[in-house]
Amino acid sequence: MRWEPPRVALLWCPDWPVTAAAQSAKVLVDAPIALISGGIVHASSAAARVEGIRRGLRLREAQAMHPDLVVLDYDAALDNRAFEPIITALEALVPGVQVLRPGLCAVQVRGAARYYGGELPAGLFLTGRADDEGAGGARVGIADGIFTADQAARRTGAQGNDRVHVVQTGHSADFLAPLGIGLLDDQQGPVGAAAIVTLLRRLGIRTLGDFAGLPADDVTSRFGPPGARLHALASGRDSWPVTPRTPPQDLDVMIDFEPALDRVDQVAFGVRAMAERFILDVTAAKLVCTAIRVELDSDSGELSERVWLHPRSFTPGDVVDRVRWQLQGSGEVGLSSGITRVRVSPEAVDAIGNHESGLWGQGPDERIHHGLSRVQSMLGHGAVLMPGVGGGRTLHERQQFVAWGDRLVGDRPAGQPWPGQLPTPLPGTVFSPRHPVHVFSRTGAAVAVDERGALSAPPVSFSATGTQARTLTAWAGPWPIDERWWSEDATSSWRFQAVDDTGCAWLLVLDAGGWWAEARYD
């Protein structure tokens, strides 16, 4: 029996990260967009590439090239999430979809070609379906094997039938022959492909055709299995079939409200049954949910989206609580109209076996969690805080709070030296917000500090607005803090310690806004 190469259709969405990010941020894809990861351009839209903004450029340089550049953060999770509906749609058309990476997936085309009356119509049908799902401009390459199909997809046009490039069975080697050897040095090559390609270049082999012309046995004996694999790819004998993914079970739940609900308790009541069903489904899949994503659609088209973590695992009541807190706390998001849709999806799941409660219960931690969750359901998620200490110079910067159940994200480690910190002992009372005060010298004039740090006169008393003046018995300062002088949010202030006649000590701060009582040593 003759060996039949697997026929593969490869769907490629050009600039997928940009498309996904633009859809999420509600920006037109045609706009010049750059996705930034760690200060470096990770991907850019076609309009940005015209200006020369390419991957690897620094953000400043990119902005200098195009002042109107739309800068978005690169989010790998968003890429995958946004691609999911397209995969689902394709799976409805053709069985067996292999996702190579977000924006690139392969399908077995044999059955589809028979059904739609040819490979070209099948390919066009796939692009049409992808267009419907919002992946505009998707292209399809059809060839023997994934590697050849990928190269075929890159050689498609943007319009009409050009969007599908079919390489007929057995013509793969001819198609690949003129292409550069550098294409093998891609994510699809085996480990060590880059070194082999470099060596081949030095040996004077520039195209895939040159490489394919070498005897297969010689390549294997010289380069081992990776070389043999590359040789097979270059000669269009990619024998690896499409390995379709197992479609994940859909655990998302959604409820529509018609007419829209504008009261929090109505919505909370409405989602109760949905939350029960959600947790039942998760449990039936032998999973527990440790983080959920709640999306709220309002009547006027706003979307409030947030991920909620749970220190243990969600119960139906917890899910309802999170929906309610998100509604109550949507002040910053600004939902101005009624809620039309609530959608809950699991963000992080874990095997249920890891969360089985012990025979004698889980000890005190579970009790504490229940007690604090009760307080959270009374006051809101952000009302119960766990404290932490982060880096910084002022007391406010150094103390960090995170809501019970959330993870502490501190980008400023406390362990590093922070010159200009307060000496110990630290004040036990840190006012939030700071209290405005007036500080007076002996003559009753306000005390000021000039830019060289010299006091206008020694302070003798201070008073908060509308209270009696406190006489100072001792004081020290001014200690300057000059932060971020290079940027617009530069702050410069002077700190003082002062003891009043009752023996109470204060931390006073003078900045551009005047005098403040920042903390009390009591």
Partner 1 sequence: MTSAAATLSSPEHAVESSAPSRVAELQARIRSMQATKLDSKLIPTHPAIAGLLPGGGLQQGAAYSVDSSAMLLMTLLAAPSAAGSWCAVVGVPEFGVEAAGHFGIDLDRLVLVPRPAEQWLAVTAAVADVMSVVVTRPPKRATDSSIARLAARLRQRGTTLLVLGNWPQTEAMLSLSQSTWHGIGDGHGHLSSREVTITVTSRMTGRPRSTRLWLPDSGAVVRRSDTRVDDTRRYGT
Of 178 and 423, which CB lies nearer to partner 1 in the complex structure? 423
- Calculate the CA dihedral of residues 192, 196, 201, 206 and round it to 10 degrees: -90
Of 127 and 394, which CB lies nearer to partner 1 in the complex structure? 394
| Residue (of 106, 120, 168, 165) closest to 139 by Cα position | 165
CA distance linking residue 327 with residue 267, whole number of Å: 9
Of 2 and 407, which CB lies nearer to partner 1 in the complex structure? 407
Of 63 and 421, which CB lies nearer to partner 1 in the complex structure? 421
- Minimum distance from CB of 254 to partner 1 (Å)? 33
CA distance linking residue 396 with residue 183, whole number of Å: 54
Rounded to the nearest 5°, which phi and psi values hold at 477?
Answer: 135, -170
**How many CB atoms within 10 Å of residue 226?**
16
CA distances from 461 to 444, 457, 511 (A): 9, 12, 18
Report whether 386 contacts 401 (CB < 8 A): yes
- Minimum distance from CB of 23 to partner 1 (Å)? 38
CA distance linking residue 81 with residue 59, whole number of Å: 25
Of 76 and 504, which CB lies nearer to partner 1 in the complex structure? 504
Size, binding site for partner 1 by CB under 8 A: 48
- Minimum distance from CB of 266 to partner 1 (Å)? 22
Report whether 296 contacts 339 (CB < 8 A): yes
- Minimum distance from CB of 459 to partner 1 (Å)? 9
CA distances from 80 to 29, 71, 249, 288 (A): 18, 20, 16, 22
Of the candidates 497, 508, 509, 516, which one interacts with partner 1 according to CB under 8 A? 497
CA distance linking residue 69 with residue 53, whole number of Å: 10
The C-alpha angle with vertex 403 and arms to 399 and 404, in degrees rounded to 5, equals 115
- Minimum distance from CB of 187 to partner 1 (Å)? 42
Of 246 and 416, which CB lies nearer to partner 1 in the complex structure? 416
H or E element in which residue 203 lies: none
**How many CB atoms within 10 Å of residue 392?**
18
Taking residues 81 to 120 in sequence order and writing x for each that binds partner 1 by CB under 8 A, - otherwise, the string is ----------------------------------------
- Minimum distance from CB of 357 to partner 1 (Å)? 17
Of 36 and 507, which CB lies nearer to partner 1 in the complex structure? 507
- Calculate the CA dihedral of residues 359, 361, 362, 368 and round it to 10 degrees: 170
Of 353 and 387, which CB lies nearer to partner 1 in the complex structure? 387
Of 164 and 519, which CB lies nearer to partner 1 in the complex structure? 519
**DSSP string of 278-290, one letter each residue:** HHHHHHHTTEEEE
- Minimum distance from CB of 496 to partner 1 (Å)? 10
DSSP character at residue 14: T
Q: Which of residues 143-172 bind partner 1 (CB under 8 A)?
A: none
Of 256 and 522, which CB lies nearer to partner 1 in the complex structure? 522
Helix/strand number for the chain, H first, E second: 16, 20
Of 240 and 521, which CB lies nearer to partner 1 in the complex structure? 521
Q: How many residues does the chain have?
A: 522
Q: Which two tokens stand for residue 490?
A: 């530069």
CA distance linking residue 253 with residue 195, whole number of Å: 48
Of 206 and 367, which CB lies nearer to partner 1 in the complex structure? 367
Antiparallel, parallel or unpaired: β 253-261 and 339-351: antiparallel
End-to-end CA distance of the chain: 91
- Minimum distance from CB of 476 to partner 1 (Å)? 5
- Minimum distance from CB of 76 to partner 1 (Å)? 31
Residues 6+ apart with CB under 8 A from 410: 388, 390, 391, 400
- Minimum distance from CB of 429 to partner 1 (Å)? 5
499: β partners = 474, 505
Q: Which of residues 394-453 bind partner 1 (CB under 8 A)?
A: 395, 398-401, 404, 423-432
Of 193 and 505, which CB lies nearer to partner 1 in the complex structure? 505
- Minimum distance from CB of 451 to partner 1 (Å)? 19
Taking residues 448 to 487 in sequence order and writing x for each that binds partner 1 by CB under 8 A, - otherwise, the string is ----------x---------------xxxx----------
- Minimum distance from CB of 309 to partner 1 (Å)? 17
- Minimum distance from CB of 261 to partner 1 (Å)? 25
Residues 6+ apart with CB under 8 A from 374: none
Q: Which of residues 342-401 bind partner 1 (CB under 8 A)?
A: 364, 367-368, 370-372, 374-375, 378-379, 383-389, 395, 398-401
Residues that bind partner 1 (CB under 8 A): 364, 367-368, 370-372, 374-375, 378-379, 383-389, 395, 398-401, 404, 423-432, 458, 474-477, 497, 499, 502-505, 519-522
